[in-house]
A and B are shown apart, each in its own frame.
Chain A
Amino acid sequence: MKRFQQLAASLGLCSTLGIASAGYGGTITVKGSDTLVILAQKWAEVYMREHSATKIQVTGGGSGIGFAALQNNTTDIADASRPIKSAERVACIKSFGKDPREYKVALDGLSIYVHSSNPLNEASIDQLEQIFTGKLTNWKDLGGPDSPITVYSRENSSGTYEFFKEHILKGKDFVSSAQTMPGTAALLQAVSNDPKGIGYGGAAYGHGAKVLKVKKTSDSPAVEPTEENVLSGKYPIWRYLFNYLNPAKDKDEIAAYLKWIRSDEGQKIVKDVGYYPLPEKLRAK
């Protein structure tokens, strides 16, 4: 009887191994943006629970790190919170002879944070540009109390920094006196302790400070960064989050995984983590 059990067990083991090896042999590696890392880990966790034969390994480091790894072929998928730069595209083409394939995987609305005691409720993109480039230095210019503005920014290695610089500052430099924080959480902590502070960060972190409504121009309505407003494009500061990969690898397990991420099921997780899911038309069917 015992022998029979052993035989059955080993047969079962063999057949499981057989199925596993018939599918994808290795591990899917995902590397890149720190903004995306929480989401990517959650995706991997849920996906691996449902597909036990697949192993997914997620690491952060930054969008640039992800692209470097993609070009050196040390990762299968590169996470990015900004579109690929032309220099990085050229490097990838030189490395594997193909333009890397881009998938939009989620949406992120950048929030503007001020201290909870700040009487200000809204700001226009123009005003934000002037604050963060150092043209406006006192809260009274915005209708607040007479006290200087302390600008909090992110480190220049951050994809969020580059996005903000490009879209709000229109490529201009941040004011030199801007304090740079090593992460959105640190920035939020600093702003929530500084009555004179203002900062910006991803949507998934919005607790502890007041979130400003943003106006596209000085006479358009002020919009709150809610899911509805970000998805409809009413809220003016938002961005896509991307996955990049070598098109030659976009098959089997990796293709299935990417398709799952962009399916309704994967997009449900986006919402749980605190980012915004893709609109219907961009999802995988």
Chain B
Amino acid sequence: MLTEPRTTRTIGWMGLHRGHHAKPLEWLAEKLIFAVSLVAILMVFLIFVFIGREALPVMIGHERSLPVQNGVAASPDTMTPEQLQAYLGLTREEFARMDRETLKTLIELKKETPVSSDKDAALDTTGWRYLLSPYKWSGYAKPEYIWQPVSEVPKYNLVPLIIGSLKVTLIALLFAVPVALGASIYVSQLASSRLREIIKPVVELLAGIPSVVLGFFGLMVMATALNAFFNYCELHDWAAWCVPAHRSRLNALVAGLALAFTVIPLVFSIAEDALTSVPRTYVQAALALGASKWKAATQVVLPAALPGVFAAVALGFGRAVGETMIVLMCSGNASITSSSILDSARTITATIAAELGEVVFGSPHYHILFLIGVLLFTVTFLTNFAADIIMHRLKFKLEGKT
């Protein structure tokens, strides 16, 4: 349990001095580092508070997608200044600055109600019902999940975005995790030391490629190559089964594959660290008992390093779900609910990146974008949190200590 005798090993504050008297400079340095680490935690907290605050109106249902209109006949001639000021919703200073002409313009603008014959025009489309379940909008043949935030009747259904994000992330992980794990097992257990010195830095070099470059590569090279491949399959009977009737050049598969390049080095280096940190004596014991090198690696070292490997995969998931530039460039960004991996996908991150630039400040659309930001933050936070807990449990189980 937590009764490790901390005091016997460390005397002094936070164990820096180990029984020595602290020098003032050391003390100051320690405090500084402590403050810096606090700042990191504080930043995470502040970011969450800021995003959450902007998303709050939607979450508690105070957002209305349509302004309330009142069609009272108004003019500067018939109303008293006070009435006019209240009618136009101005403060006293604003009102005092305006001349008659400007006031008339304002009244005109206020009267200019969007006369719409659309039966959905009066709906408050930011309600949870419209955000999460399909609805038969006017002009559509059947109930559908629609993300059309810039429209006469703005439609903010989040399901296509969630499906898009999950689809791309899963594809990326399906490709990246086996490759990264295989490479890390090979490098840490089986490779000769010379080979290891080459492979490890090269794989880790992948992490240094800017995601916009990878996105560009995906857009130009991978999309073209995959498209050519599926075109070829389509023309040959024996391969045609694997090509769905409808597919796009830029799709979830291209984005997922390009994304895998960012996930591989991350999963690789964490998993490799975990595998290397398994005591060498385990392998030696296994080899002494007659196990082959391969058996020792997969049946002794891998289970012992499982918590670290699991953490690597969880962090890879967080990276994939949060990556923006690659999916923005390679996925085609069509907001559809399709299960085919050869259809386009629109992810949460790409939506925020593409739309926040020009959304009207404080509008329902603006708040919805923050809402999906909160969603994204929560998902990555929970994944990391869960990974941490499971890692500790596994560690306890496997090593018998906390």
Contacts and interface: CB of A to CB of B under 8 A. Distances in A.
Nearest to B144: A176
Interface stretch (A4-12, A166-174, A203-211, A215-223): A166-174
Contacts, number: 110
A93 B88 CA distance: 11
B339 to A, nearest CB: 14
Contacts of A96: 97
Contacts of A232: none
B274 interface: no
B333 A155 contact: yes
Contact of B249 (A172, A176, A194): A194
B151 to A, nearest CB: 5
Contact of A99 (B97, B105, B220, B328): B105
B150 A177 contact: no
B223 interface: yes
A33 to B, nearest CB: 10
Contact of B359 (A87, A157, A181): A157
Contacts of B99: 97
B139 A176 contact: no
Contact of B358 (A62, A182, A186, A190): A62
Contacts of B152: 171
Interface in B355-402: 355-361
B354 A93 contact: no
B329 interface: yes
Interface centre among B94, B112, B328, B334 (most CB of A within 10 A): B334
Contacts of A116: none
A162 B150 contact: yes
Interface string A185-210: 01001100110010000000000000
Nearest to B155: A173
Interface of A (DSSP majority class)? mixed
A99 B102 contact: yes
A90 interface: yes
B334 A177 contact: yes
A120 interface: no
8 A-B pairs with least C-beta separation: A157-B358, A62-B358, A97-B97, A179-B332, A64-B358, A156-B150, A180-B333, A155-B354
16 contacts: A61-B358, A64-B357, A88-B360, A89-B105, A96-B97, A98-B102, A148-B246, A161-B150, A176-B147, A177-B334, A178-B334, A179-B250, A180-B333, A180-B334, A190-B250, A193-B223
Interface of B: 90, 94, 97-99, 102, 105-106, 109-110, 112, 139, 144, 146-152, 155, 160, 219-220, 223-224, 227, 246, 248-250, 328-329, 332-336, 343-344, 346, 354-361
Interface of A: 61-65, 68, 86-90, 93-94, 96-99, 148, 150, 155-158, 161-162, 165, 171-174, 176-182, 186, 189-190, 193-194, 197
